[in-house]
A and B are shown apart, each in its own frame.
Chain A
């Protein structure tokens, strides 16, 4: 039987229905299917690193639950703010991992916005199992992972802003190597002497929150935001750190208050950086994670630069032989207070596998997990017992103990100021710092930063 003639209208109608179906199907396929058998981890880095981690974590996870498949998805970025921007966009699109790698930069952002699940109940329940971990980890790091009295992450690694230097260039400039109690004046004199060597940067730095001019700001007893401590947290200090003097006076996490970005200490610190540039001691800095700076240092073209434990493996991998680089505490200005950042893995509030996720997070705190998570000596272990001469035997630096002793030598050392509006703070800091370097007017740039931060703080209430 012949088909009835197809009118244009019917065809358009059918096309419309088809279009709607196609749209529905496409949209449905865009939404990630909920997989009850997959434990998803969002990893900051490239996919090869994530795959390597998955290969090494798969077995322990299977031991916890043989029916579960481990998925580790990498999100690359030049710095933590890029990672969090991408992560939050993924979450908005419906892709919700169970576990997320989070650093100080994102703790309050994740906790304050209700994305991260507090670990208080789990920690309290499994304290006996975790006591060995808490005995080994500085309470300063743990406090940096708290928000409003609750603990959101168990710190696995950290990096304090120490000063790397090239003994080779110090020698060429006829300088003594920096002593642990060296001062900003010593640093300045060393910079001026090294600046006379052609084709090198006596001091190199990058524009970012961690280890930028902010290191000088901290040493100058300043900060971008008013420092405070949230109430609470005694449930942890009394139980896990009972009798530990380093835990005395700690609260429920850092409470970042009103912006003080244009304080005299901040203006002085940024003016000092401008002065370094004017005198040819430091170049105009790049914005970002510092890979270029590290590459220049590895090439022997940088005299000094702020770095943490993560530089040791990086410089070694870049071909620097032991003895060609070393590290010292950050120089003393008004104080010798350092800044630090720490990182770990957080459980998302939306996860329907929190119990299993907790087991994985807990498993990552075991001593043998550290090198699985961070192969190649690219950070400082949060566990003090893992900072050993043997760890740095191959990579250097000679004074590796600087990394692990910073927190104990300088107890006033504090985390970078990363409030709930960290991304806005980071953007504003980068813009205003480059503005100050370009114009040479630190005061005007920091007045602008103050307004930016007040606006950002106001936007989140």
Chain B
């Protein structure tokens, strides 16, 4: 029960300190030491996590931000160039183009990840036996555990135009070999396919959990009221799991915008620059062309773009996401 509001114009009475059940215990020196030790341990644990985040996440971000105002080739000392690196980005066609490539790949991947993940989750949700559900959950989640580099390497062989197993079966079926990795469209489709194949397990598991948590009474009421499977999905299930869909979109987009391994290993960004993502440009700029300052500036722009996109998603979520 909340305390009564103080009368207008009067000094509020000091809120009584609630009596805690262990107050008597706290008074003993041993209990005090125990509590201090417990608190120290807790803060120690938080401190470790904080140190890791500081060292491996916040530190590099800050260092990268600082470096973006310098010209640095690793070998000679850094030279302060102010905003020159940022000014150069707008006129760098390579960067602008790679942002476009990244956007196309990322939105395709997220859309497919969410759609396929939801579809598979709905199918599994209909299974009655818990063991069947567990098998499907494991099977669909397994690719996510594999190393992206390893997956990309074997997919490169599978989609090889000359001796890949995909073209082998296509030709057996009477089709002709497709230049999966050596044509613009083929390379984009293949990379999206591989990224979705590997990561769809993540959205799938999220949706399975969300569907399992739907209130039974609401679903039963919908059934009694004569809602069919499609109407039930569109009017009941989707609105109820919309926070999960939103979460999957946010996380998926952040990950997809940083796509690197698949494109780097499977196509080296080609053919031409058809699959050169912004992270590849950052890698080439910093680590191959030794323009670490400029590479950092591009990273910062990507960071800002991700924040803006996430902010936009949150804004849209106010209209589209239903929090019960």
Q: Which residues does A use to contact B, with CB under 8 Å?
A: 2-3, 5-6, 8, 11-12, 15, 18-19, 22-23, 26-27, 81, 85-86, 88-89, 91-92, 113-115, 201, 283-285, 287-288, 292, 296, 301, 421, 423-424, 426-427, 430-432, 434-435, 437-439, 445, 456, 459
Contact = CB atoms under 8 A, between A and B. Distances in A.
Given A15-B43, A201-B162, A284-B182, A434 B270 contact: yes
Given A11-B39, A115-B75, A287-B268, A438 B274 contact: yes
A421 B289 contact: yes
A288 B160 CA distance: 14
A438 B182 CA distance: 6
Given A2-B29, A5-B36, A437-B182, A287 B270 contact: yes
A57 B309 CA distance: 56
B276 interface: yes
19 contacts: A6-B39, A11-B39, A15-B47, A85-B287, A86-B287, A89-B74, A113-B73, A113-B75, A284-B182, A423-B288, A427-B284, A427-B289, A431-B272, A432-B272, A434-B182, A435-B271, A438-B270, A438-B271, A438-B274
Nearest to A26: B55
Contacts of B182: 284-285, 434, 437-438
Contacts of B184: 438-439
Measured as residues with beta carbon below 8 angstroms from the partner, the interface class of chain B is: 35 or more
A288 B268 contact: yes
Which residue, of A86, A201, A284, has the highest number of chain B Cβ atoms within 10 A?
A284
Contact of A431 (B50, B161, B273, B292): B273
Contact of A456 (B74, B271, B289): B289
Contact of B163 (A12, A18, A296): A296
Contacts of B43: 11-12, 15
B308 interface: no
Given A3-B36, A115-B75, A283-B162, A19 B51 contact: yes
Contacts of A113: 73, 75
B269 A431 contact: yes
Given A91-B74, A113-B73, A284-B179, A424 B288 contact: yes
A430 B33 contact: no
Q: Taking each of B39, B74, B179, which has the highest tally of chain A beta carbons within 10 Å of its own beta carbon?
A: B74
A65 to B, nearest CB: 29
A133 B274 CA distance: 48
Interface string B39-59: 110011001001100110001
Contact of B271 (A5, A11, A434): A434
Contacts of B163: 296, 301
Contacts of A26: 51, 55
A431 B289 contact: no
B252 to A, nearest CB: 28
A336 to B, nearest CB: 30
A92 B74 contact: yes
Nearest to B182: A284
A124 B288 CA distance: 34
Given A23-B54, A456-B289, A439 B73 contact: no
Given A434-B272, A438-B271, A459-B291, A284 B75 contact: no
B40 A6 contact: yes
A64 to B, nearest CB: 29
Contact of A2 (B33, B51, B271): B33
